[in-house]
Chain A
């Protein structure tokens, strides 16, 4: 009879522990689901060695042609080592979850007491009944942590995708800028060379020649700067793509940014944007989940107060002067002086979570409005540049050529104008680049807070699940 409770408890624990096992996909399922939802079917993150091998093949395939923005995102997810590391940490977290679902370890106590000649030896085997009873709660907490970790990895992957997309836009725009600054240099070189020949035959003085040479020198500087900017943009993209060595050298980019989409394909007015953001933003979802969890924690706290402080033990007290005492002992801490503190705390945490969720939602709405406004004006600016400014600049170039034809302006003025026109193209490229960046920012704002790491743990810093402390 004396052994029965301990045995029964152990058996029950084993039974319970049997449910906690490893998932076949290294806990990646929900991550993949999130990625597919936001990035499309191609978005996968490799986990196993087999995955890695396939990923290498796919990467080689993607690198064979100029990289489209979609291909860049795919490649980054396949190849970026930081993400790979996060995926592995997920497996570690899952292991913790499995461990949390297992039986609590029994405790053994031994006491040797002397009273005069009497020697009393006290042996006790303890098993935290409280922890056993709260095992489902602990397991749920661990599952929560895993879910959080999964959300974190998904967030990281999404962040990588958005960063890659933006870096791709920057890198392609930088390529274009290099191209056009090269053209400006070409015009300046023609001016300088012509000026040199003018001076040679006596039509230009040194001042006039030096002026044209100065244009060339400035243009060369602009080329150097554009090349430097290209290097920075390209390296950033390479980092996000996780490329180095030969693969990095193989990377080709398109020579132009994708054209500005037509207004009718774009859905310029988006009244439901805020609702969409609330529905799908990871931080909002996490904050809501947290609040829900706190709500259940709030009600559980009443139960926990009793069960968590319950200890069960087997006692064997032997004395040299008396027959050995055997029995079991149940210790229960009376929450007399708790005065409902646990409950108050849980309630406070719950209310805190509710406020945090509300704050997150308010911020999300604002951020998505801001991103939308930025996107919308970036579109209008790029559209204006393409449909108004560039045609006007082209018109100016044409008119200047006509004026050159009539000997109303000279070749140097014509070349100076050509330089200005080409430089004007850069402004158009920049506005197109800004549009695509704003597009990425808007996409990102619909998933999480823009401009920062996409981490859904908005409540970081607050204590984790309340059941964790139960087993003290």
Chain B
């Protein structure tokens, strides 16, 4: 499945186009990845052994050993990232993808990273969370000169402490981060570590956000907060792979946040503990059970749980707008608005007009209407029971009894044991419960009431008929 060796030849040719062959001669061939699919873990061919991670909709960068030093070659370059089938973005990334490949090393490894700049402007790489010589920290101007376009710089340091880290530029930072320049860095412990558990499945991804005008492809780099695409590893649901695990696997998920806001990550069906941050493993005494953990801006969290409940379990950011794809931020709420007559009037002027939002926005998951080119639908995921009214930062943890170790292929939808799916109630409805008269507002009467009582009517769906 992994076709990196295939890619070696092709990528060398690409490399020669921008950077001189002489300059590249001594470097490890840059390896490119063009598929946005989740690649199987890269089992370490040499060096110290470790249990590799799976990068959600991503891959791990191969290295070469050179006199005991692990040599990697990162190429910063413009890329086209498929964010979800039918929608591709023009981003900047590394080695063919945004985010770039995950770099996996082992505690104590000496690491040499060649960084070739094929961007139109200078860049640098900051190794977020690493202990390293100050001159390798990658802050342009402060600790190093910028890497000009067409040049290759080298970073070299020892991966001193195990944990979950990331890399990203600190040169024209706002633009380069908004364009998708980032990647994960995992340092595995050298041996058994008292605070780092051995796990069966180890997933990792970065939270990132983009503002791409529907119908266009390049992120608006000036956007500060009003992003419209909330992504994991620059993918949006339904373009995100499921996290496939075997029943009773111990699972670790490492999440880094490079967006401009925090993301409460919520897992269904299980409790987890936060076992580490980019500061290192969390002492056992400081861990507590959670079903949601907030990953603040610039932070990394690694959560661990025992996948002991079979099923298809949702895993998502709990900010509800973050589980949506591109949508208007100024669209009025149409719920409950009677469109009779008006709809016909509008259709006379705009023949293809259709009423939407009158009953909420779930219509959006079912209506198949043409969108601007290269636009992800607001929510289009479909499950075994119909449309999933979600998009963006959303995926499914699939816990299966029959899943083989090391097999990450999608097992399909969960087969529910009989009688375990919610269904329509067929009996006599229970009488509504009554609250005691003394409770509620009577306990503390409000002052300064409006002169006239405000009339607010609740509109409930009446019958089945829906006229417009």
Contacts and interface: CB of A to CB of B under 8 A. Distances in A.
A415 B326 contact: no
B306 interface: no
B328 to A, nearest CB: 4
Which one of A186, A397, A401, A414 has the greatest number of beta carbons of chain B within 10 Å?
A401
Most buried by A among B328, B339, B377: B328
Interface in A410-426: 410-415, 418, 422
A411 B354 CA distance: 10
B226 interface: no
Given A405-B369, A406-B375, A198 B214 contact: no
Contact of B456 (A187, A202, A399, A413): A202
A422 B349 contact: yes
Interface stretch (B277-285, B330-338, B424-432): B330-338
Contacts of A405: 354, 356, 367, 369-371
B414 interface: no
A362 interface: no
Interface string B318-333: 0000000011101111
A190 B328 CA distance: 21
Contacts of B377: 406
Contacts of A409: 328, 330-331
Contacts of A413: 328, 330
A208 B331 CA distance: 13
Given A203-B334, A402-B372, A408 B350 contact: no
Nearest to B347: A190
Nearest to A410: B331
Nearest to B213: A408
Interface in A206-224: 208
A140 interface: no
Interface in B340-386: 341-342, 345-346, 348-350, 352-354, 356-357, 361, 364, 367, 369-372, 375, 377-378
Nearest to B377: A406
B332 to A, nearest CB: 5
A407 B357 contact: yes
B370 to A, nearest CB: 6
Interface string A386-398: 0000000000010
Given A406-B377, A407-B331, A410-B330, A201 B348 contact: no
B215 interface: yes
B466 interface: no
B330 A406 contact: no
Interface in B246-286: none
B215 A415 contact: no
A401 B356 CA distance: 12
A289 to B, nearest CB: 60
B427 to A, nearest CB: 33
B337 A203 contact: yes
A407 B364 contact: yes
B336 A203 contact: yes
Contacts of A412: 332
A189 interface: yes
B331 A197 contact: no
Contacts of A89: none
A204 B377 CA distance: 26
A188 to B, nearest CB: 10
Given A186-B348, A201-B457, A203-B335, A406 B378 contact: yes
Interface in B402-430: none
B192 interface: no
A410 B330 CA distance: 7
A203 B339 CA distance: 14
A193 interface: yes
A419 B341 CA distance: 19
Nearest to A399: B372
Contact of A190 (B327, B332, B342): B342
Interface residues of A, number: 33
Contact of A201 (B349, B378, B459): B459
A194 B345 CA distance: 11
A302 interface: no
Determine chain A's interface SS by DSSP, over half rule.
Answer: helix
Among A397, A404, A412, A413, chain B packs the most CB atoms within 10 A around the CB of A404
A183 interface: yes
Nearest to B369: A405
A225 interface: no
Contacts of B338: 197, 201
B327 A407 contact: yes
Given A197-B338, A409-B328, A190 B345 contact: yes
A411 B369 CA distance: 15
Contacts of A414: 346, 350, 353
A201 B214 CA distance: 31
Nearest to B327: A407
Contacts of A193: 341-342, 345
A58 interface: no
A410 B372 contact: no
Given A194-B337, A201-B457, A406 B352 contact: no
A208 B334 CA distance: 13
A403 interface: yes
Given A186-B345, A187-B349, A402-B370, A411 B334 contact: yes
A415 B361 CA distance: 19
Contacts of B364: 407
Contacts of A202: 336, 456-457
Nearest to B454: A202
A203 B332 contact: yes
A192 B367 CA distance: 26
A186 B327 CA distance: 28
Nearest to A183: B349
Contact of B342 (A183, A197, A203): A197
B332 A198 contact: yes
B391 to A, nearest CB: 12
Contacts of B345: 186, 189-190, 193
Contacts of A408: 214, 326-328, 331, 372, 375
In this complex, the member of A397, A405, A412, A418 whose beta carbon has the largest number of chain B beta carbons within 10 angstroms is A405
Contacts of B342: 190, 193-194, 197
Nearest to A184: B349
7 contacts: A186-B345, A189-B345, A190-B346, A198-B337, A403-B371, A408-B331, A415-B346
Interface of B: 214-215, 326-328, 330-339, 341-342, 345-346, 348-350, 352-354, 356-357, 361, 364, 367, 369-372, 375, 377-378, 456-457, 459
Interface of A: 183, 186-187, 189-190, 193-194, 197-198, 201-204, 208, 397, 399, 401-415, 418, 422
Query: Which 8 residue pairs are nearest across A and B when measured between Cβ atoms?
Result: A405-B369, A410-B331, A408-B328, A201-B336, A406-B371, A402-B372, A190-B345, A410-B332
Given A201-B457, A406-B214, A406-B326, 4 more contacts: A190-B346, A197-B342, A201-B338, A411-B334
